[in-house]
Structure 1
Amino acid sequence: MPQLSFYSAEANTPRVRDLAGLLCGSGQVESFGGTAARLSVVVDEPWRVAAITAACAERGVVAEPAGAEDGGLLVRTPFRTDLAPLAVVWTGAAGKVVPAGLALDGALLRLWAMAAGRWMDSGYLLELDPRAPETHEPLAGALARCGLAATMLGVRGGGPGLRVSGPRRCNRLAELVGPVPNAAGRASWPVVSRVRATG
């Protein structure tokens, strides 16, 4: 059995703060009176709904699917006091912000990939929030700090998103995020066998 990286998703006990990975993509956090908050994210495939719901449950957080205004699939938690710290650090005067010095580990990357990850052009794209462009550069910097320097793609290039490319980086990403959360998502997940096939 290969040795797990200290930063991999499987190396540490699931924590509520890991759900910040949803906010790296299009996820939103809404505060209620500064004492509670809820998370919501719109996704494009049913397997993502199942994976995110299960990941929340692993952290003792109930999340339920609901219809989204744009026809997408919405996953949302109720307002909870243990989500309030996420709202504090991910919300600025103008909306969503990336916390200073954000350290991405396998758990956060796993949630990001569940919500907004897919293969494209022999690389792996982690989608960014088109409604929060000021988060894009800080997230690129956070990826680079964990050894996953990525190419920023705009809307015309298939984004907005950060494309991790090259066998070494894609393998590192696959090792960090761990196994595919369910069989239906295998084609969109950064598995090592896919890296070998495309690399």
Structure 2
Amino acid sequence: MFYSVGVDGTISLFSAEASGPGLADLAGVLCGPGRMAGFGRTAARLSAVVDEPWRARALARECRRRGAEAQVTAADCGRPLVRTPFRVDLLPLERHWTRGEEKVLPDGFRLDGAMLRMWALAAGSPQGNGYLLALDPEAPETHERLITALAQLGVPAKVFKGEDSLLRITGRRRLAHVLELIGDAPVGAEPAWPSLVPVVRAV
């Protein structure tokens, strides 16, 4: 078992390396664009429409690391889509994250580094001297609670310039903490990772 050492010398029990990868980590995709769909009460699958093909490929690899095969295709809108097959072991995520046809945040939800890593892959990007995390614009009731979950993880975030579905994390110390929590970028996912050097990027 591995633990990350923070900038202040403390050991983080919430980093992506603190425990082995597991299906529970996929909740991080649901913090952003991910959606769960059930097949009766027998199985469920995770899907996410993302902005760039490399995000879909990276998410598919991370899903496979957690024992869930995933395919990359195109959504009806033409954007990249990553999707798992229906699986019995994804039912807990579906039950906790959906109410009827709506996506909800589970009661008592606690974010950790592994989930934050998946969120960054799905919907994170450096911008200026900060870092942006996209929320699901179709699940606005999750937004405030996700801000709270980030704060509990030691990563305070604010709504970015009136964009209700974008959160911004600023400050070198906070960005360094995010990097400690999520670990190194997977190959090809470097554009999504926080940077301690200001990055000029169109939003």
Q: TM-score, normalised on structure 2? A: 0.89
1:107 aligns with 2:111: no
8 Å Cα contact 1:101/1:142 also seen in 2: no
**Equivalent residue for 1:188, pick from 182, 188, 192:** 192
1:198 aligns with 2:193: no
8 Å Cα contact 2:35/2:48 also seen in 1: yes
Taking the TM superposition and a 5 Å limit, the aligned residue runs for 1:20-31 are 20-31=27-38
| Counterpart position of 1:174 | 179
Partner SS, residue 160 of structure 1: strand
Partner SS, residue 12 of structure 2: coil
| Counterpart position of 2:8 | none
- Counterpart amino acid of residue 117 in structure 1: G
Note the C-alpha offset of 1:122. Answer: 1.4
Deviates most, 107-116 or 43-52: 43-52
8 Å Cα contact 2:57/2:82 also seen in 1: no
- Counterpart amino acid of residue 25 in structure 1: G
Note the C-alpha offset of 1:80. Answer: 0.2
**Equivalent residue for 2:159, pick from 152, 167, 176:** 152
| Counterpart position of 1:134 | 141
Instruction: Tell me the percent identity.
Output: 49
The CA distance in 1 between the partners of 2:40 and 2:88, in whole Å, is 10
Partner SS, residue 53 of structure 1: helix
Partner SS, residue 124 of structure 1: strand
Gap regions ≥5 residues in structure 2: 6-10
- Counterpart amino acid of residue 144 in structure 1: A
Deviates most, 32-41 or 3-12: 3-12
Structure 1 or 2: more helix by fraction:
1
1:56 aligns with 2:60: no
Length, aligned pairs only: 192
1:76 aligns with 2:83: yes
**Equivalent residue for 1:5, pick from 6, 12, 32:** 12
Q: CA RMSD in A?
A: 1.8
Q: TM-score, normalised on structure 1? A: 0.90
Note the C-alpha offset of 1:94. Answer: 5.5
Gap regions ≥5 residues in structure 1: none
The CA distance in 1 between the partners of 2:95 and 2:17, in whole Å, is 27
The CA distance in 1 between the partners of 2:101 and 2:139, in whole Å, is 9
